[in-house]
């Protein structure tokens, strides 16, 4: 074969290190063995890739430079294919489906995903909307703010519980009122609410409804955008509203009503049929969630 990944890898290392012996050491090969591979490569190509002068660093010929530049475009793709093949041979999944809601996309999730990318770079990660029934059905792993109906072959664990907070944009009338807000105060303005779904039980939502004027949002993006724009006030996980309040984009509303008397569980569930990469991600999510909580059970 004229061109192989092995030959291109040897070429890359020799050029980067400027020495056949240095490349050989990094490859764990003998210098003579690497020289033979490259001489055979040049013979098959019919061109001289290197200028060889005793006592001087190996340099590419003009033809070698042209060939090398094009080869460098192929090497990353070949490395990816090699890793993909090795992963498939080891039983590593080709892709993982992680179902989330905007309310359950905590900062620690990205940390766990970075760890997965480092350990299993060939695995494609699909972030799915947990409120989409089709997405939920094909999820390998899911993170929800309340227990989702478990199917056979699924395992789950509660990571922590969180509390809700009433929030509004700084320019919203409720944010400008002095003193503690009453239920009557809240009833004067529109309240943004998530649309009832498998993820948000209607009874639970009604327990946190304080106005007869309601704007229901099917998507988290619409909900958060409405809050930030001052369209209405609404509930938000305390731990997730904190960065927005620190940036001055939202304000916590002080009220005389109990938004929620007990914390909502944050549940991590996964299929027992996931492979090594899925198991690794589950471990990372649990580990990063523990660090995120800092020893607290309720956030």
| pLDDT tens for each residue of 33-53 | 888 988 888 898 889 998 887
Instruction: Give the three-class secondary structure for 80.
Output: helix
Q: Which position has the higher pLDDT, 84 or 282?
A: 282
Query: The tokens of 16 are what?
Result: 């980067």
Q: Which residues contact 164 (CB under 8 A, 6 or more apart)?
A: 208, 235, 236, 237, 238, 259, 260, 264
Instruction: Please identify, in words, the CATH class of the domain defined by 95-161+264-293.
Output: alpha beta
- pLDDT > 70? residue 83: no
Domain with CATH 1.10.10.10 in the chain: 5-89
Q: How far apart are CA 202 and CA 161, in angstroms?
A: 19
Estimate the share of the chain in helix, then strand, then coil, as percent rounded to the nearest 5. Answer: 45, 20, 35
Looking at the domain that runs over 164-252, which CATH code has it been given? 3.40.190.290
| pLDDT above 80 (res 253) | yes
Q: In which band, very low, low, confident or very high, does the pLDDT at 205 lie, cut at 50, 70 and 90?
A: confident
Supply the DSSP symbol for 103.
Answer: G
Residue pointed to by tokens 């589950």: 282
Model pLDDT, residue 94: 86
Higher pLDDT among residues 244 and 80, named by residue: 244
The verdict on domain 5-89 having CATH code 3.40.50.300 is no
Is residue 277 very low, low, confident or very high in pLDDT (cuts 50, 70, 90)?
Answer: very high
Per-residue pLDDT of 101-111, as tens digits, reads: 888 899 999 99
pTM: 0.69
């Amino acid at each position: 074969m004229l061109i192989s990944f092995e030959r291109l890898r040897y070429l890359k290392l020799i050029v980067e290190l400027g020495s056949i012996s240095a490349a050989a050491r990094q490859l764990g090969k003998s210098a003579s063995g690497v020289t033979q591979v490259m001489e055979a490569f040049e013979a098959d190509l019919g061109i001289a890739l290197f200028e060889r002068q005793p006592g001087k660093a190996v340099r590419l010929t003009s033809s070698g430079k042209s060939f090398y530049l094009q080869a460098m475009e192929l090497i990353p793709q070949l490395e990816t294919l090699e890793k993909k093949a090795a992963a498939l041979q080891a039983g590593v999944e080709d892709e993982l489906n992680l179902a989330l809601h905007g309310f359950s996309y905590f900062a620690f999730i990205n940390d766990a995903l970075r760890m997965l990318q480092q350990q299993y770079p060939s695995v494609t990660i699909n972030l799915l909307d947990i409120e989409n029934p089709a997405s939920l059905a094909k999820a390998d792993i899911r993170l929800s703010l309340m227990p989702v109906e478990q199917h056979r072959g699924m395992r789950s664990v509660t990571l922590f519980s969180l509390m809700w907070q009433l929030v509004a944009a700084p320019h919203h009338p409720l944010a400008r009122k002095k003193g503690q807000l009453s239920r009557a105060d809240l009833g004067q303005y529109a309240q943004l609410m998530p649309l009832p779904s498998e993820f948000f039980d209607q009874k639970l939502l009604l327990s946190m409804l304080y106005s007869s004027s309601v704007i229901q949002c099917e998507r988290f993006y619409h909900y958060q955008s409405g809050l930030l724009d001052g369209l209405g006030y609404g509930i938000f996980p305390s731990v997730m509203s904190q960065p927005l309040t620190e940036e001055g984009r939202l304000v916590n509303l002080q009220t005389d009503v109990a938004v929620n008397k007990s914390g909502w569980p944050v549940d991590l569930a996964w299929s027992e049929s996931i492979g090594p990469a899925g198991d690794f991600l589950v471990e990372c999510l649990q580990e990063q969630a523990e660090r995120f909580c800092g020893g607290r059970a309720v956030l």
